[in-house]
Amino acid sequence: MKHFFGRLWIEWTIAISFLREGRAQSIMITVGVAVGVAVIVFVTALMQGLQSNIIQRTLGTQAHIRLLSPDDVNQIIAPAVGTLQLLQEDKRPQRLRSINNWQQITATLDQLPLLTAVSPVVSGPAFAQRGDALESVALVGIDVERYQKIIPLKEYLISGQLRVGADDVLIGSQLAEDLGVQVGSKLRLDTGQQNSAVVNIAGIFELGVRELDARYVYLDLKQAQSLLSLPGGVTVIDLTVADIFEAENVAAQVGRLTSLQAESWIKTNAQLMNAISAQSLSTSMIIVFVAISVAFGIASVLSVSVVQRTREIGILRATGATRQQILRIFLFQGAMFGLLGSVLGSVASYALVWVFNNFGPGLFYIPVSINLIMLALLLAILTGVLAAAIPARRAAALDPVEAIRHV
């Protein structure tokens, strides 16, 4: 074993001496590898930061999974045997209705380890009126303690307090502007079902989505049930999961368990997921093309090195060096190009990310994980070794006598 490591050390020393003799070439290819690694790390971190920001903004205003009552469907009488029945069917209008046995369902879902939060909600349309101003709104009746685990409303408050109940409500900033109200103002809510209530604005929130800020009115669950003529009922059960990208699978499981219609955020944001997939594909293609460019650069330099050092290789072979040793010498050179280039590239990428986070547009933050750096380092070393394989095999295949005669 000691003899083996001794031979590796000799091969490593020879590889370094070859690199030093071709210092200009070595520096150029190392810089090329560093640029490639910096591009890979920065672009990957940029895409990850962008996607994380988009997903965070999307999920910051909605549940991961929503459970609803199955849609009302027409009950069609089966035709008599031997007869053909032609029907023109119109879909039934979907009325506002409660989820049956929602208390038992909620208690069951609370026990599922796949779910991190469960919140029953009652929602429906209404009109908000103040003086002559009239706006169409969506009433959202909530249990604040449970709903906070779904959407952290307290973080979105821009004025007032997080307080619902006893005729206190929360409204969006755009709705407040449209109605000309502020914290402490009175507001009439009318559902058009001979149910109305005058409420006090306890707080104003800003979710960052104009449509939601112009329509949402959060109020106490029981008050919403009364206004929407759904005493003791809920229309939706909102859920969150630990792994957001497993929401579709969890939704299918919960749907089978509860016999309810389960919609995950992935399904309701299909276009967003397609865009994220396209971004990921583009990033992967950039990484592949950069890696190929780096590999060709390393292979070119080492091919030239084999030609320039043909005589030295012949002398090494004549003094007892085996083909495997010559092979390893050039593979070591490829690995060193990858290692040095990846270290320099990682430092450069950290600098680029720091500049972006501190002097960029400030739209989102770019994190750089140690896993990404290690992955880039391994990719660079592997690329260097693979790129060196062909020149290394060529060097190992040289005939010692012919190589020594080479001028």
Give the pLDDT of residue 80: 63
Give the pLDDT of residue 239: 94
Do 166 and 220 reside in the same domain of the chain?
yes
What 3-state DSSP class applies to 322?
coil
Give the pLDDT of residue 84: 65
Do 291 and 397 reside in the same domain of the chain?
yes
Do 246 and 391 reside in the same domain of the chain?
no
Do 285 and 383 reside in the same domain of the chain?
yes
Residue 76 located in a structural domain:
no
Residue 68 located in a structural domain:
no
Q: How far is CA 151 from CA 191, 255, 316, 321, in A?
A: 25, 22, 70, 69
pLDDT in tens, 85-124: 666 555 655 556 788 889 999 999 999 998 999 999 999 9
Token pair recorded at residue 3: 């003899």
Domain span holding position 154: 102-259
d(CA 197, CA 223): 9
Do 250 and 281 reside in the same domain of the chain?
no
d(CA 29, CA 41): 18
| Number of domains composing the chain | 2
Give the pLDDT of residue 313: 67
Do 191 and 117 reside in the same domain of the chain?
yes
Q: Work out whether strand 216-220 and strand 261-264 pair parallel, antiparallel, or are unpaired.
A: unpaired
- Strand segments, DSSP code E, in 82-230 are 115-130, 133-142, 157-160, 168-172, 186-190, 196-205, 216-220
Do 252 and 277 reside in the same domain of the chain?
no
Give the pLDDT of residue 9: 66
> Which of the residues in the chain have pLDDT under 50?
407
Residue 71 located in a structural domain:
no
Do 154 and 254 reside in the same domain of the chain?
yes
Domain boundary among 231, 259, 287: 259
Q: How far is CA 131 from CA 17, 135, 181, 200, 385, in A?
A: 87, 11, 11, 15, 76
Give the pLDDT of residue 201: 94
Residue 170 located in a structural domain:
yes
Domain boundary among 198, 224, 259: 259
Give the pLDDT of residue 400: 65
The DSSP result for 185-228, as a single string, is: -EEEEE-SSS-EEEEEEEEEE--S-HHHHHHEEEEEHHHHHHHT
Do 155 and 247 reside in the same domain of the chain?
yes
Do 106 and 255 reside in the same domain of the chain?
yes
Give the pLDDT of residue 267: 85
Amino acid code (one letter) for 94: Q
Residue 200 located in a structural domain:
yes
Residue 393 located in a structural domain:
yes
Closest to 388 in 3D by CA, of 273, 305, 290, 269:
305
Domain boundary among 215, 237, 259: 259
d(CA 53, CA 59): 10
d(CA 344, CA 296): 19
Do 277 and 253 reside in the same domain of the chain?
no
Do 286 and 368 reside in the same domain of the chain?
yes
Residue 69 located in a structural domain:
no
Residue 62 located in a structural domain:
no
